[in-house]
Amino acid sequence: MAPFYSSEPKGPSVKTKIPGPKAKAAITELDKVFDTRSLNMLTDYNKSVGNYIVDPDGNVLLDVYAQIASIPVGYNNPALREAALSDDMISSLINRPALGNFPPTDWANVLKTGILKVAPKGLNQVFTAMAGSDANETAYKAAFMWRRQHERGGAHVEFTEEEMASAMLNKTPEGSSELSIMSFKTSFHGRLFGSLSTTRSKPIHKLDIPAFDWPQATFPALKYPLEKHAEENVAAEQAALQEVEHLILNYHVPPCAVVVEPIQSEGGDNHASPAFFRDLRALTRKHNVLLIVDEVQTGVGATGKFWAHEHWNLEDPPDMVTFSKKAQTAGYYFGNPELRPNKPYRQFNTWMGDPARALLFRAIIDEIERLDLVSNTARVGDYLYSKIEALAAKYPGQFENLRGKGRGTFIAFDNPRRDEFLARAKGFGVNIGGSGQWAVRLRPMLIFQEHHADILVEALENIAKSW
């Protein structure tokens, strides 16, 4: 099958060690003014095309990390370039509006033809934001305001003098308990104060930062292959659900919402079954607690559905779904009008998102639909999974706990020498990322095809043979 974009290289080309001499010199210069300790690869974006990322030394790598899962339709995509050159985009960039106060005349149309065109089932409104952390943070605020509004007796009930006075002292009014957001162990929801308090993946994210006293439940640790551990996995999921219910009922700071990733990404690509999530939804409804689904990394087609939670076949949709990364914009979807604050300026900042990024997401959606890229990802994911499954059988211990079957290209496996594995991959022409302690996570773009999968699998086998 021909690549979606003819300008794409036919394959990787490694000319120097990575980083090479030009990259090393540029990194040294950059380090004088910018912290480079987390640097993965210095990139020449003018020369990067489609699925391929290029460095200053001319090394061309197949990129299956895609800027931490945030590039949807390839580098220098011609359709996105055309959108970027439009008069609408230019106007949005040079006249960036404070959306809450001065939205552009066509803002409703931009939302309806873009962000809301792909809204999850049952959710028909959106609050736009700047990034994934911001999306989750504002969703949490909406949950707190919703809960307090119910406690007061409805949106029409005015705040008391005591409530307003105590708010200015950072205190809860006498007679009211503090509220919390429940998350799961090994989760990642962002790095702002509220989102960081629900992040539980690595200590380095949280050290020295004050955090809220909020509960965390155990995310079920499934054993692989799934079909050989069915009873154990069901028991693990039931135990996790029992813990969720116990925390809802008994935690000393009652949760008003539960936030969960369809696949825990930064925490190690941890999965749970659709039945687990359906039961989790039922629990939140039973106890009048909101369910926030964090689709920042899993959304926009990566799992073979536009939204990963579509795999759960919910009868009752989540209360809010947050998004960012591949959408190139951010925010949260909701449907219940009670989740819109009862007064203006309660959910507000200067920008409230970015029309330029909303226009880009609209162009991304059009490109996804034009090329049927969600179906492409589902098909190619099945192909790639079967190839890596064969590698796992051929090289025991190198591709352990392979997971992501039936979830598009959202595939991961464990390797006991993970960091060295990732470093060696560059030498074989592939840029890959990791997550958790041992996981190698694959995050190809939606334009990733079978011939790209063959190149990747060949590189993975070369790494396995190189130890």
Which of 176, 199, 179, 175 is CA-nearest to residue 187? 199
Q: Answer yes or no: are the C-beta atoms of 62 and 12 closer than 8 Å.
A: yes
Is 448 marked active-site? no
Is 329 marked active-site? no
On the CB side of 327, how many CA atoms lie within 13 Å of its CA?
33
Name the catalytic one among 286, 350, 372, 419: 350
Beta-carbon contacts of residue 231 (< 8 Å; ≥ 6 apart):
none
What span, in angstroms and rounded, lies between the C-alpha atoms of 182 and 243? 11
Which residues, in sequence order, are bridge partners of residue 264?
A: 270
CA 410 to chain centre: 11
What span, in angstroms and rounded, lies between the C-alpha atoms of 377 and 372? 9
Name the catalytic one among 188, 276, 306, 428: 188
Is 102 marked active-site? no
Q: What is the DSSP letter of 399?
A: S
Beta-carbon contacts of residue 245 (< 8 Å; ≥ 6 apart):
283, 287
Name the catalytic one among 134, 269, 279, 294: 294
On the CB side of 423, how many CA atoms lie within 13 Å of its CA?
8
Residue type, position 364, single letter: I
255-260: strand order across its sheet: 125-129, 330-334, 320-323, 290-294, 255-260, 180-184, 216-217
Q: What is the DSSP letter of 325?
A: G
Angle at 430 between CA 428 and CA 432, to 5 degrees: 130
What span, in angstroms and rounded, lies between the C-alpha atoms of 149 and 139? 15
Which of 352, 326, 353, 360 is CA-nearest to residue 89? 360
On the CB side of 113, how many CA atoms lie within 13 Å of its CA?
11
Helix ranges (H only) for 311-372 are 355-371
Buried residues in 20-31 as b, exposed as e (16+ CB within 10 A): bebbbebbeeee
Is 325 marked active-site? yes
Buried residues in 238-276 as b, exposed as e (16+ CB within 10 A): eebbebbbebbeebebbbbbbbbbbbbbbbbbbbbbeeb
Beta strand ranges found along 279-432 (DSSP E): 290-294, 320-323, 330-334, 400-403, 412-414, 430-431
Name the catalytic one among 305, 325, 387, 426: 325
| Residues designated catalytic | 188, 294, 325, 350
